[in-house]
Amino acid sequence: MHYYGVAYYPELRTSEQIESDLTLLAEAGMNLIRVGEFAWCELEPAEGIYRFEWLESVVERASSKGIWTVLCTPTAAPPAWLTEQIPDMGYVDSQGRQRPFGSRRHYCYNHPRYRELSSRIAEKLAARFRDHPRVIGYQIDNEMAQEGTGRCRCNLCKRQFHAWLERKYGSIEQLNARWGTVFWGQRYDSFEQINLPVATMEANSIPPIPAFFDNPSLRLDFERFCSQSQIEYMQIQAEALRTFGGPHQTVTTNGTGTGTNSINYFEAFAPMDRYGVDAYPDLRGEDLYAASFEWSLARNVVVSTDNHRFWVLELACGGGHGLWGFEGRLQPYPGAIKQLALHAFSSGAELVTHFQYLQFPYGAEQLNYSILDADGIPRRRYEEVRAAASDLREMADMLERTEIRCDTALLFDYDSLWSLGIKPVHREFTYVAHAREWYSRLLESGIGADVISAEADFDRYAMLIVPSLFVTDCKLQAKLKAYVANGGTLIATFLTSVKNKDNVAHQQSLPAGLTDLFGIHVTEWEPVFERSMATVGIEVKGERRSGPNRYWTESLEQHGAVLTAEYRNTFRQGQGVISSYKYGSGTAHYVGTTIAREAGKEWLVALAEQAGVSIAPFQLPSGVEVIRREGEGETVWVLFNANTCEKEIAIDGMFVRLSDRLPVPNNLRLPAKGYIALVSS
Ligand code: GAL
């Protein structure tokens, strides 16, 4: 079953309006509404007084039109009576300011009383709707950590952080030794002396004292503590929803993928039924790779679910004033909404809801983007979701009987993300952008990939890309070695294995603990700015190609490996920068800098061919992506043209359209924002 719908706010609508809204949704072929995430004051207007009738009536009326519902716990918006009752429950930001009532997300996720009340409203909601066959599940809260609320610094959090550290290190002496607090004379006599870090990498927060350098070990542990605290908060609600909800109801939340960096989603969702994510790609742009990256991660967070399916609880639909004018949200390019929705479904989504149905006339999100403008008249965006619903119905059988099976994966690691954010190596380099760049290069080459955690089973993949795995321990080093020894092809990029799990530098030659795997030592490294840029020459299929490097660069010394790229100029001329080493039955490649786009693609394809990775039989122009889905004896290729102009795709082999089995020419033309599902004839 596939669900396609909208985020809907019936608390803002009259009974007649609700009737016509639901009718319009059903007429568009939509079959889901997601409701309630900010409606606490309507559900529990005073402590212990519950008013669920209005919500029940919406669920019933939707149900009578064939529309399913996802209910949200309303805890992202604690009501006035509650904030008044618990004056110290407010979120405290990096500047020590407590968020007052009057917006949303104004709570500390560690506050015991707030946790209790959150769990109670979740319980009441689930108990009330447990038997409703059309309530398919629950979304916990809304976008935890969003709007700079992922690192609370209240006194309670401080005390709990001390306790967390004490549990982890056992004694202050241990902590001092592992963090190296003797540096700058920071040795602690007790856990109580530890301050919460002043500096922060939280999105939307202003650096409080720019020249204050906290201990990086303290900061990494604080990231972990905040992540785990928020996970605990979600788990408390998940437990209530599971205990009191129905067995047919899915429990999840809406994360923000790699957009918000304060929760380790691999850990957060491990006990949930589905991974849930929100995504706001640019609907006027020509790039689906960023969305693909999120879907590929989404497929691999909750791996126990059938076909690795996930939920997209909010998906962009364009239009409106935009929430923050300076972001410049534009109207969607014609076809972009429809394409994005089908792209998500083809990539493994089981549910997609657009944010949102109708422009808000009130409040902070007044006139924000939506399917319908405030006048409620169906126009272009409405017609597009109607067309998307119709295309989804056509593709539904195929999506049910096929799934995505990748033989390539890219490793995504929160410790490395955090560590590189805490102490950046270059003002333009970010871990996420670097991972995305490698991922895009795979897609451009027709290689589908999963995005996986370090806990995943590497042996399922013929090729594993490991971008800047900055933080490692012996266990992870051994796992990488075993993967290659067993025949895997590993590609690791610069800044690999520089620090340990305490965010302390490994005191070994780099890549620490892995020099025997790669057959090299990194002898020098530096950031790349205009004055340190160099030309890198690389051999691709017997031909020498060259291009400038960016961000970061390393010089490699051979310890058994073959050097396959070298510096062409500067004082590094002749030094190696990419290496390749046979290790056991596999090969480990080390890439000491960035490779120019085209040469990099060809280099990657050559390695993929050697590794036996399956590559799509299409010549993909820039911005065209293909998703391979497989079922019993069947392979379906869904092609997407993200460009705002037609693109011609050279096809290698005989293919027919899935819809009508008509053959397609070998120079297939895909219109702007078009897509097509093909099978071999
Ligand atoms: C999301 C959020 C929604 C709404 C939307 C506006 O991040 O979950 O509630 O604020 O952004 O773009």
Q: Does the CB atom of residue 146 touch ligand 1 within 6 A?
A: yes
Q: What is the pLDDT of residues 29-82, one digit of tens each?
A: 999 999 999 999 999 999 999 999 999 999 999 999 999 999 999 999 999 999
Q: What is the mean pLDDT of residues 203-228?
A: 88
Judge whether residue 488 has pLDDT over 70: yes
* Residue 673 to residue 623: CA distance in whole angstroms: 10
Closest CA to 330 of 375, 288, 287, 285: 285
CB 202 within 8 A of CB 208: no
Nearest residue (by CA) to ligand 1, atom 3, is 355
Give yes or no for residue 271 having a pLDDT over 90: no
Local structure of residue 605 (DSSP, 8 states) = H
Find the 45 Cα to ligand 1 centroid distance in Å.
24
How much is the pTM? 0.97
355 lines ligand 1 (CB under 6 A): yes
Give the residue from 548, 509, 385 showing the smallest Cα distance to 26: 385
Q: Is 147 in the pocket of ligand 1 (CB under 6 A)?
A: no
Distant-in-sequence, close-in-space partners of 500: CB < 8 Å, separation ≥ 6:
471, 472, 473, 506
- According to DSSP, residue 259 is labeled G
Question: Which pLDDT belongs to residue 579?
Answer: 98
Q: With bands split at pLDDT 50, 70 and 90, how would you rate the model's confidence at 327? A: low
* Three-point CA angle 55, 59, 61, nearest 5°: 115
Q: Is residue 552 pLDDT above 70, yes or no?
A: yes
- Choose among 392, 273, 412: nearest CA to 343: 392
Least confident range from 83-92, 109-118, 363-372, 547-556: namely 363-372
What are the counts of helices (DSSP H) followed by strands (DSSP E) for the chain?
Answer: 17, 26
Contact between 668 and 386 (Cβ < 8 Å): no
Q: What percent of the chain has pLDDT over 70?
A: 98
DSSP state of 281: -
Residue nearest to atom 12 of ligand 1 (CA): 323
Instruction: Give the pLDDT of residue 288.
Output: 94
In the reported structure, the alpha carbon of residue 65 is separated from the centroid of ligand 1 by a whole-number distance in angstroms of: 27
How far does residue 433's CA lie from ligand 1's centre (Å)?
22
The sign of the CA dihedral 118, 120, 124, 126 is positive
The residue whose CA has the least distance to atom 5 of ligand 1 is 355
Largest CA distance in the chain: 76
Cα 278 to ligand 1 centre (Å) = 8
Tell me, in angstroms, the distance from the centre of ligand 1 to residue 351's CA: 17
**pLDDT at residue 324 greater than cutoff 70:** no
Q: Which amino acid is at 142?
A: N
Which candidate, 278, 381, 289, places its Cα nearest to that of 335?
Answer: 381
CA 385 – CA 390 distance, rounded (Å):
9
Three-state secondary structure call for residue 129:
helix
In angstroms, rounded to a whole number, what is the distance separating the alpha carbons of residues 317 and 337? 6
**Ligand 1: which of 143, 315, 321, 371 to mutate, most ligand atoms within 8 Å of CB?**
143
With 90 as the cut, is the pLDDT of residue 107 above it? yes
Task: Round to whole Å and give the CA distance between 373 and 391.
Answer: 24
Nearest alpha carbon to residue 258 among 451, 127, 77: 451
Would you give the distance in Å from CA 433 to the centre of its chain?
12
State the Cα–Cα distance between residues 6 and 9, nearest whole angstrom.
10
Structure token pair of residue 234: 């979600």
What pLDDT was estimated at residue 474?
A: 98
Nearest-atom number in ligand 1 for the CA of 38 is 9
- Name residue, tokens 């500047």: 95
Please check the confidence at residue 421 and state whether its pLDDT lies above 70: yes
Are 380 and 369 in contact by the 8 Å Cβ rule? The answer is no
Tokens of 574: 């002749």
Q: Are 579 and 562 in contact (CB under 8 A)?
A: yes
Dihedral sign, CA of 672, 673, 676, 677?
Answer: positive
Q: Which helix (H) or strand (E) holds 178?
A: helix 172-179
Segment 599-614 shows an average pLDDT of: 95
Q: What is the mean pLDDT of residues 568-587?
A: 98
Closest CA relative to residue 620, chosen from 644, 601, 596: 601
**143 contacts 257 by C-beta, under 8 angstroms:** no
